[in-house]
Structure 1
Amino acid sequence: MRMLITFQNKKIPVYFNAENKQPVQKTLKLLSSTLEKKISHGKRALKTCLSSLISIEIVGCEAILHTVRENDTLALSLY
């Protein structure tokens, strides 16, 4: 399943796996709060990743942040 969120004035697609047990709205709320927290208090590598974010994939309790540069892609725990 695919949904769009707005982050830093950009529309970012979020892809969900069909096996996720958590409700979609709860996961999106956790994702949004985690991203906002990390953009303001995260390390430089994480801020670099968030500035070039192109899509997010939710796998279980992790968000895989895909960026323009493959080397900047990382996983972020939501729980």
Structure 2
Amino acid sequence: MRTLIIFQNKKIPVYINQENKQPVQKTLRLLSNTLENKIATGKRALQKCLNSLISIEVIGGEAILHSVSENDSLALSLY
């Protein structure tokens, strides 16, 4: 399933695996809260990834953050 979230005044596509056991709204709320927390308190590498974010893929309890540079992409736990 594909949906959009607004993060740092940009629309970011979020791809959610249909096999997730959590409801989509709860997953999106967890994702938004985690991203806002990490942009404020995360390390420099994480903030660099978030600033160049192009899409997010949610698989189970993890969010794979895809950035413009493939080297900056990373996985982030939602729990």
Same fold (TM over 0.5): yes
Corresponding residue pairs, total:
79
2:15 corresponds to which letter in structure 1?
Y
Query: In the alignment, which residue of structure 2 is the partner of 1:2?
Result: 2
Unaligned runs of 5+ in 2: none
Kindly provide the CA deviation profile for residues 22-73 of structure 1, in whole angstroms up to 9, marking residues without a partner as x: 0000000000000000000000000000000000000010000000000000
Which amino acid counterpart does residue 77 of structure 1 have in structure 2? S
Identity %: 77
Q: Structure 2 CA distance, aligned partners of 1:45 and 1:13?
A: 21
Runs of 4+ in 1 over 4 A off after TM superposition: none
CA RMSD of aligned residues (A): 0.3
